[in-house]
A and B are shown apart, each in its own frame.
Chain A
Amino acid sequence: MGMKKSSKIIFTILGTIVAIYTLFPFYLVVLNTFKNANGIVANPVGFGGVSFSQLMANISAVVNNSNFNFWYAFGTSVIITVLSLVLLALFGGMAAWVICRNKTKWSTAIYMVFIASMIIPFQVVMLPLISTFRDVSQFIGISMLQSIPGIVFAYCGFGGAMTVFILTGFIKGIPYELEEAAAIDGCSPEGTFFRIIFPLLTPVITTVTILNGMWIWNDYLLPSLMLGQNGKVKTLPVAVQAFVGSYVKQWDLILTAALLAIVPMIVIFLVAQKQIMNGMVEGAIK
């Protein structure tokens, strides 16, 4: 018994040391946004030079900065992420249901293409993607680059394979008798999907939404290529990059920008911690 107690203490100490290590950078970010540039250089670890009015000054300097434009970038990121997630859940669910319930050569082939495409790295399609989108924009007269609809379209394309893969696995487990019974009662196929199948997908759509949401919200490369580093429309990661590029080594401002960029994600994590951690694991295991 005594042995167990001592190992428990050792584990707790070890765990605490690792936790301090993982949280220390966050501590530094929060701490130093309370200081001005001189205070950071003088002592980045201690509490010297900390003041609340300095935090306010830093935040207002960053929020109103024309290179960062926090509220605009934040709003853009929210719109892009939410629209992409809703459309991916809807279109993904529809496609997965058709693939799952039609055992034809076509649906199997489409499924195989989706699965195989999951190994394609973004780098191999990014350059022709930009030129294709540019050509399409010129051809049809709707801007696909530097526009929110264009980015949402691209996320539906890139997120589709993983979404269909996870949803198909789940739909396979739903008894087919449910749909047969609905058909006998005179329910149309689309009615069967929206009234019976789609509501049943809630848990797995939560998983898919968390996986896609983490990726889309934090994604830098796709929006930076499509929107341009200094275009009118900016997502939060692109805005951070543009801001840092224009204020080299001004750590008071850079760290405040970093804090503003990570706060939304931390807040969501604190609210839905269990769902996020479970969702990330389930998405990986499947």
Chain B
Amino acid sequence: MAENSNKTKLLSYVLLAAGIAGLAFALVLDFSGSSAGFRGPLLVAGAIVFLVGLYFFPTVEHHRSIINFIFLFPLLFTFAVTVLIPLALGIVYSFTDWNGIRLTGFVGFSNYATMFKDPSFVWSVLLTFLFVIFNMVLINVIGFMLALLCTSKMRGINFFRASYFLPNLIGGIVLGYIWQFVFNNVLIQITSKWGMMNSILANTKTAFAAIVVVYIWQYAGYIMLIYVTGLTTVPKDVLEASQIDGANALTTLFKIKIPMIASTVTICTFLTLTSAFKQFDVNMALTNGTGSVADFMGSYLTNGTQMLALNIYNTAITKNSYALGQAKAVLFFIILASVSIIQVRISNSKEVEL
């Protein structure tokens, strides 16, 4: 026993020393600007060897703390590098003249001032709000009606549920192109008989409606599933009691079912709100934001169907204005956070009233 613990002790110290040595050597190479190809693997190996050494560290009272550290480390490390550090940097960059690689100085609020003077950006913001309102209302209403349909006693219910949900499995890019085909090649054959020779994607207003339709097609099945689960939690005896009391289907729906699934409504509203705000893939694949607007704030616009997420992407990646794009992204974050918090507050207060 004693010999065994001595061996572990030795192993632990050797590993810790080797790990620190590896890390230190790799870091020295990094800071000295060496281009030795093994410095990266050495750094990673050093860190892993150090953690293993830490694991074998001969202690009883601190073993639990060491395990806690080792268990938390991987996720926290990746989270910090991919989310926390870029978020902090991003907020700083929005006040500078950052070009995606380096920056030369702070510019105060001038990025923010620029974007509010840009009619195409203001258009994107307003369009996004319109899109969110349309989708929040329509997806919830349609999803709820489909859920009522799918909880009624009709035949083949599993098939219907699965086929309504199916579009949600497909990524926005692919289904955006599929619908582009539907609008440009299939629907046009029908509408041309009525004298509409252009695709509905060619007109800004109808193209916007098309994005709304496609997004509902993608998302309503998912929201339906959540409402189905909510509706099945409504106790059967309550429904029976209301039937015995002579309540008709509509009264049961509005006075019993909907109030009893208020928390489900909150969840679905939140989901549709945040996902519609962040919509990017369908927007990009279906219209890529194009569409003409004759006169908005005194300018002619060509980004008639461009929503906020796509506007940010195009500002930074296509037009190469990284600092401006980042400032728009920070504003996007602020809007999304405030709207979500307000929505949750309102829903919670309503739930309490009920």
When chains A and B are docked, how far (Å) is the Cα of A7 from the Cα of B250?
A: 14
When chains A and B are docked, how far (Å) is the Cα of A128 from the Cα of B181?
A: 35
| Cβ–Cβ contact B163 & A19, under 8 A | yes
Q: Contacts A125-B90, A280-B225; is A45 near B186 (CB within 8 Å)? A: yes
Cβ of A195 < 8 Å from any Cβ of B?
no
Chain B interface: which size bin? 35 or more
Cβ of B278 < 8 Å from any Cβ of A?
yes
Can you name the residue of chain A whose Cβ is closest to the Cβ of B322?
Answer: A127
Can you name the residue of chain A whose Cβ is closest to the Cβ of B152?
Answer: A11
Question: Which residues between 140 and 156 of chain A lie within 8 Å of chain B, taking CB atoms?
Answer: 140-142, 153-154, 156
Tell me the interface secondary structure of chain B in the complex: helix
Q: Contacts A12-B155, A19-B159; is A220 near B82 (CB within 8 Å)? A: no
| Cβ–Cβ contact A25 & B175, under 8 A | yes
Closest-CB distance, B351 to chain A (whole angstroms): 15
Chain A interface: which size bin? 35 or more
Q: Identify the stretch in A57-65, A67-75, A92-100, A201-209 within 8 Å (CB) of chain B at 4 or more residues.
A: A92-100
Question: Which residues between 94 and 153 of chain A lie within 8 Å of chain B, taking CB atoms?
Answer: 94-95, 97-99, 102, 110, 113-114, 117, 119-132, 134, 136, 139-142, 153
Find chain B residues with CB under 8 A from A240 CB: 173-174, 177
| Cβ–Cβ contact B44 & A120, under 8 A | no
| Cβ–Cβ contact A91 & B75, under 8 A | yes
Closest-CB distance, A138 to chain B (whole angstroms): 9
Closest-CB distance, B166 to chain A (whole angstroms): 6
When chains A and B are docked, how far (Å) is the Cα of A220 from the Cα of B279?
A: 12
**Contact flags A220-256 to B (C-beta < 8 A → 1, else 0):** 1100010000000000010011001000000100110
> Number of contacts between A and B (CB, 8 Å)?
264
| Cβ–Cβ contact A124 & B72, under 8 A | no
Cβ of A187 < 8 Å from any Cβ of B?
no
Find chain B residues with CB under 8 A from A22 CB: 163-164, 166-167, 217, 221
Q: Which of B68, B169, B333 contacts A121 (CB 8 A)?
A: B333
Q: Which of B68, B82, B146, B267 contacts A18 (CB 8 A)?
A: B146
Cβ of B64 < 8 Å from any Cβ of A?
yes
Closest-CB distance, A82 to chain B (whole angstroms): 17
Question: Which residues between 133 and 163 of chain B lie within 8 Å of chain A, taking CB atoms?
Answer: 146, 149-150, 152-156, 159-163
Given contacts A94-B75, A98-B67, A237-B173, 11 further A-B contacts (CB under 8 A): A18-B164, A44-B185, A95-B76, A120-B333, A123-B309, A124-B333, A131-B100, A132-B81, A156-B79, A189-B63, A217-B171
| Pairs A-B, 4 closest by C-beta atoms | A157-B82, A218-B171, A142-B40, A94-B71
